[in-house]
Amino acid sequence: MSNSATIGYHPATEFTPIIINSFKAYDIRGELGVNLDEDIVYRIGRAFAQILFQRYHAADAKAELENLKPAVVIGSDIRHSSEQLKQAAIRGMLDAGVDVIDLGMTGTEEVYFATSHYQALGGIEVTASHNPINYNGLKLVKEHSKPISADDGLAEIQALAESGQFITDSTLGNLQLLTDKSAYINHVMTFVDIDKLKPLKLVINSGNGSAGPVVDLLIDKLLQAGAPIEVIKLHHTPDGSFPNGIPNPMIEANRVATQQAVLEGKANLGIAFDGDFDRCFLFDEQGNFIDGSYIVGMLAQAFLNKYPSESIVYDPRVIYNTEAVIAEHNGKAVISKSGHSFIKQVMRDSGAVYGGEMSAHHYFRDFFYCDSGMIPWLLTIELLSVTGKTLSELVSGYIKAYPSSGELNFHLTTHDASTIISAIEEKFSVQNPINSTLDGLSLNFGEWRFNLRASNTEPLIRLNIESRGDAELLTTKTQDIQQWLATQGAIPA
């Protein structure tokens, strides 16, 4: 490592207390120049490193942190503001006396991997993922790639960053640039059996985000090993100005380019990513976007075929299909509150082999219980090859047996989310549904159910409705609840 004293602030600099309101439930996300800038990120980086470093030297943490290095890994996405914010975080961590490994331009899962691979105390990815171009943020993990949330360390980091009461007698840390992705690529490739792959044509839309270089490396590996695949690359070059729009395939308009490319290229599969590629979105051979809940069921079945009787973790927004698949394949169903920090902890507690959210986050025990956007499509091309089925054939039975509305979002204009959730619970109480408040409100009426919850990241309320094989009932109930929400001032987003 090279000494970094020339790029750090002096550790003894005094800081005036400030308020930082860019901290969210799971990460840090803010508008540039409003509640996020280089000075704020410096303070966050320094606070993060100081807390990790103090914990590293605490006697009661020795066993848990044994064999770890007093270092933090950091990467950043392709946004124009990300490199400067990353350098600010690096200065803060170096001034806290912690060594820093700079991974260069990365996706979030590369930081997850590197944190464990390099046995670091923690990791930071500078990214705003799918948020507007004038936003950015930081995703943080601690040792062994474990998440940090508001209830588990994030509030402590915020308090120290705001107070500016940093330790001022530390020796400056050292900085090392390690941009080689070979270990990460090799690990991801362990999830696919190349010998089982059949001829397939893929459309891969990287959204001009950080995915392009990793896609290139994975495709090269596949081709070098003789995989009979052909790839059409779409919006492939990383470009922080996002000339084809912010990469967010959850927005229907953003799906069109991938859908058209699949149809025009007569491809077997379409694949799209968000900006930091921690989510993977799939399109079938007819260009249809496949809702994430059905992908969870498909991957759960694939894992249970390989690992009988294992646990599968899923979130409570859409459950009928996932629970049916797990039961049919003799797995153990473990439900968790949605959100990566909850899913990962429940997976660790249960030892689950796989966890999935309908939001297109997929988690893997053999990827440090973390989410990956690259592993799902590799698993899918193996599944298409082994079964000889198309993606539409793999999921059509799921969709028919358990139709769902997809996630419907509403802006709140009159009441807050908790008021609306309480009111709808009262409205349906006379029908005596099975009630769960694990995540928002879930009411199960036997032949249909819904989940209504407040967004953790945006001023929205989110609705999901599903039925047991009755598309007409689904349509009726969706219309009824939408109309009722309108009376409460909830307007479709």
Cβ contacts of residue 394 below 8 Å, gap of 6+?
298, 383, 384, 387
- Stretch among 284-288, 336-340, 370-374, 421-425 having the lowest mean pLDDT: 336-340
Beta carbons of 264 and 289 less than 8 angstroms apart: no
Ramachandran quadrant class, 23 (left: phi over 0; alpha: psi -120 to 50; beta: rest): beta
Beta carbons of 108 and 130 less than 8 angstroms apart: no
CA distances from 385 to 39, 193, 203 (A): 51, 10, 16
Ramachandran quadrant class, 461 (left: phi over 0; alpha: psi -120 to 50; beta: rest): beta
| pLDDT tops 90 at residue 127 | yes
Which pLDDT tens digit goes with each residue over 348-385?
999 999 999 999 999 999 999 999 999 999 999 999 99
Beta partners for residue 364, in sequence order = 354, 370
Which pLDDT tens digit goes with each residue over 191-210?
999 999 999 999 999 999 99
- Alpha-carbon torsion angle 478, 484, 485, 488, nearest 10: 180
pLDDT of residue 25: 84
Beta carbons of 230 and 219 less than 8 angstroms apart: no
| pLDDT tops 70 at residue 425 | yes
| pLDDT tops 70 at residue 10 | no
Q: If pLDDT is split at 50, 70 and 90, which confidence band does 216 have? A: very high
Beta partners for residue 138, in sequence order = 28, 126
* Residues taking part in catalysis: 129
Beta partners for residue 74, in sequence order = 102, 124
Tell me the domains of the chain and their CATH numbers. Answer: 2-180 (3.40.120.10), 199-287 (3.40.120.10), 290-402 (3.40.120.10), 408-492 (3.30.310.50)
Antiparallel, parallel or unpaired: β 332-335 and 280-283: unpaired
pLDDT of residue 150: 83
pLDDT of residue 186: 98
pLDDT of residue 66: 83
Task: Average the pLDDT over 28-46 and give the result.
Answer: 97
Q: If pLDDT is split at 50, 70 and 90, which confidence band does 61 have? A: low
Whole-number mean pLDDT of the chain?
Answer: 95
Phi, psi (rounded to 5 degrees) for 335: -90, 145
| pLDDT tops 60 at residue 250 | yes
Beta carbons of 410 and 485 less than 8 angstroms apart: yes
| pLDDT tops 50 at residue 295 | yes
pLDDT of residue 297: 98
**Percent of the chain that is helix, strand, coil (3-state, to 5):** 40, 25, 35
Task: Average the pLDDT over 466-472 and give the result.
Answer: 98
H or E, element range at 340: helix 340-350
H or E, element range at 369: none
> Rounded to whole angstroms, how far apart are CA atoms 124 and 210?
15
Q: How many CA atoms lie within 13 A of 374 on its CB side?
A: 27
Burial group, residue 311, by CB count within 10 angstroms (0-12, 13-18, 19+): buried
pLDDT of residue 234: 98
pLDDT of residue 458: 74
The beta strand positions in 421-485, using DSSP E, are 434-436, 441-444, 448-454, 460-467
Which pLDDT tens digit goes with each residue over 156-189?
999 999 999 999 877 899 999 999 999 999 999 9
| pLDDT tops 50 at residue 1 | no
| pLDDT tops 90 at residue 152 | no
